[in-house]
């Protein structure tokens, strides 16, 4: 079992819809959770992080964390074609000194 | 301009050759990282550094060597390149202690024939 799992997609949503990206992790001691966006052929960029159970909102992005169920989600409201990218989930386990990345979910927002 | 610069952007070499990928940052961030990205594997940490002269292994360090004599530079050397090291390599930096890369370079696409 991979430590951090994401559905590779591709996930397609129409413009204006809510895109929901999910990530599950295996280490119950994980403390910190991050979402990176990566456009095709470009480098990743950090867009969200969350440490506590519940929701964290930043503009059109909402990160949701449920430690009991060991999943973290990223919601993108009012999706735009410019949101089309691969979204990488990364998790820092409690005892680890480094992040473990999922393999990413490719999102396509259709005009 | 401030930022993180990787060179070269593209490199083709042969098995057994030594290759050095350069990384330079202008923010004076303490932490620097080297990742490789392969299809289906996401980003995997090769080495990281918490400060000048302090380096540590990541998830996949075999076949790689790093050094950090100055805060701003963090070169990655493949001592004897193998085909399995064909990948896209990203350097990253961070100014916090959370071992979380904040800023990535544009990457080096390395092909080993």
Residue-wise pLDDT tens digits, B39-96: 877 899 999 998 999 999 999 999 999 999 999 999 999 999 999 999 999 999 998 7
CA distances from residue A31 to A5, A95, B59 in whole angstroms, order as listed? 16, 9, 19
Q: Who's near A41: CB < 8 A, 6+ residues apart?
A: none
The gap from C-alpha B14 to its chain's centroid, in whole angstroms, comes to 19
**Rounded to whole angstroms, how far apart are CA atoms B14 and B85?**
11
Name the residue among B10, B32, B8 with its Cα closest to residue B21. B8
**Rounded to whole angstroms, how far apart are CA atoms A99 and B108?**
21
Give the three-state DSSP class for A82: helix
Looking at residue B40, its pLDDT comes to 76
Q: CB count, 10 Å around CB of B67?
A: 16
B45 contact residues in A (CB cutoff 8 A): 98-99
> Two tokens at A111?
């005009």
A90 contact residues in B (CB cutoff 8 A): 43, 100
Name the residue among B100, B106, B92 with its Cα closest to residue B27. B92
Is A104–B41 a contact, with Cβ atoms under 8 angstroms apart?
no
Is A34–B100 a contact, with Cβ atoms under 8 angstroms apart?
yes
Looking at residue B4, its pLDDT comes to 95
Looking at residue A93, its pLDDT comes to 78
Please say whether the beta carbons of A75 and A20 come within 8 A: yes
Spans of chain A below 70 pLDDT? 1-2, 94-96
Q: Looking at residue B51, what DSSP letter applies?
A: E
Length of chain B: 113
């Amino acid at each position: 079992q991979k430590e951090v799992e994401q559905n590779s997609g591709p996930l397609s949503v129409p413009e204006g819809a809510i895109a929901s990206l999910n990530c599950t992790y295996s280490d119950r001691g994980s403390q910190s959770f991050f979402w990176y966006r990566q456009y095709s052929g470009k480098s990743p960029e950090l867009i969200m992080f969350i440490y506590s159970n519940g929701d964290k909102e930043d503009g059109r992005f909402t990160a949701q964390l449920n430690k009991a169920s060991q999943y973290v989600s990223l919601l993108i409201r009012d999706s735009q074609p410019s949101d089309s990218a691969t979204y990488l989930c990364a998790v820092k386990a409690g005892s680890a000194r480094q992040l473990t990345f999922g393999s990413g979910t490719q999102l396509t927002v259709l005009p | 301009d401030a930022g993180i610069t990787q060179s070269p952007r593209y490199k083709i070499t042969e098995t057994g050759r030594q290759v050095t990928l350069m990384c330079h940052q202008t923010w004076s961030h303490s932490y620097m990282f080297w990742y490789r990205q392969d299809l289906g594997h996401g980003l995997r940490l090769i080495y990281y550094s918490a400060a000048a002269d302090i380096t540590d292994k990541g998830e996949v360090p075999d076949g790689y060597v790093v050094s950090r004599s100055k805060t701003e530079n963090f070169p990655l050397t493949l001592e004897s390149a193998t085909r399995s090291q064909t990948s896209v390599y990203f350097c990253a930096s961070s100014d916090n202690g959370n071992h979380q890369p904040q800023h990535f370079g544009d990457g080096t696409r390395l092909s080993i024939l």
